[in-house]
Amino acid sequence: MARFTKGQCQPCPVRTRCTTSRESARNVGFPPRELRDLQLRVRAEQQTPDWQTRYAVRSGVESTINEFAHGHGMRRCRYRGQPKAHLQHIFTAIAVNIERLSGLPPNGETPLPRPSTAFQNFLDQHEIPRPKSWRATTG
C-alpha cells in the first residue's frame, strides 16, 4: 500500500488522471507479484478466440441461471427437504421451457425480432449507430 499526503497530491501535474477527489490524498494498493502476474496472464488469455468461444457458452448458461434466480424466485426454496426442493427445481425448469417454447412461432418458422427498447429507439431517433452486439468493441 502506498499512501500519499495531501501536500504530495495537490501540486502533482497528473493528479486529475490519478484521482477525482479535490480534498483528500491518494492511497494506492499493489497486489503481490504472484497475483499481479496471474491477473496479467488471465487478462491476456481472455483476448484469445478460444477463451471467448468458451465464455459465450458460459454467458448463455449464466443468463438462464439469472432468469431462474430473479424471474422465478429460485434463490429460496418454498419447501423443506432435498426431495421437495429438487421437485421445485424440476417443475420450475419445465415451466421456463414451456414459457420459452410458447414464444416461438409454430412449424419452426423464424421468430419475429423482439421489439426495440426505449434506449434503442432513442439511439435510432438521434441517428447514433449501435452495434449488433453491445459487447462488440468499436475501434
pLDDT at 7: 81
Q: Residue 27's beta-bridge partner residues?
A: 3
Handedness of CA 116, 122, 125, 126 (dihedral sign): negative
Residue 6 · residue 22 · CB < 8 Å: no
Given a cut of 50, whether residue 139 has pLDDT beyond it is no
pTM: 0.42
Give the three cell numbers for residue 130: 449501435
pLDDT at 97 over 50: yes
Query: For the segment 34-79, what is each residue's pLDDT rounded down to a tens digit?
Result: 999 999 999 999 999 888 888 888 877 888 888 888 877 888 888 8
pLDDT of 87 reads 92
Residue 119 pLDDT level (bands cut at 50, 70, 90)? confident
For the chain, the average pLDDT equals 81
In which element (H, E) is residue 27 found?
Answer: strand 27-28
- SS3 letters across 29-68: CCCCHHHHHHHHHHHHHCCCHHHHHHHHHHHHHHHHHHHH
- Classify 23 in phi/psi space as left (phi over 0), alpha (psi -120 to 50) or beta: alpha
DSSP state of 70: I
More confidently predicted of 90 and 130: 90
Provide the 3-class DSSP secondary structure of residue 6: helix
Share of the chain above pLDDT 90, in %: 16
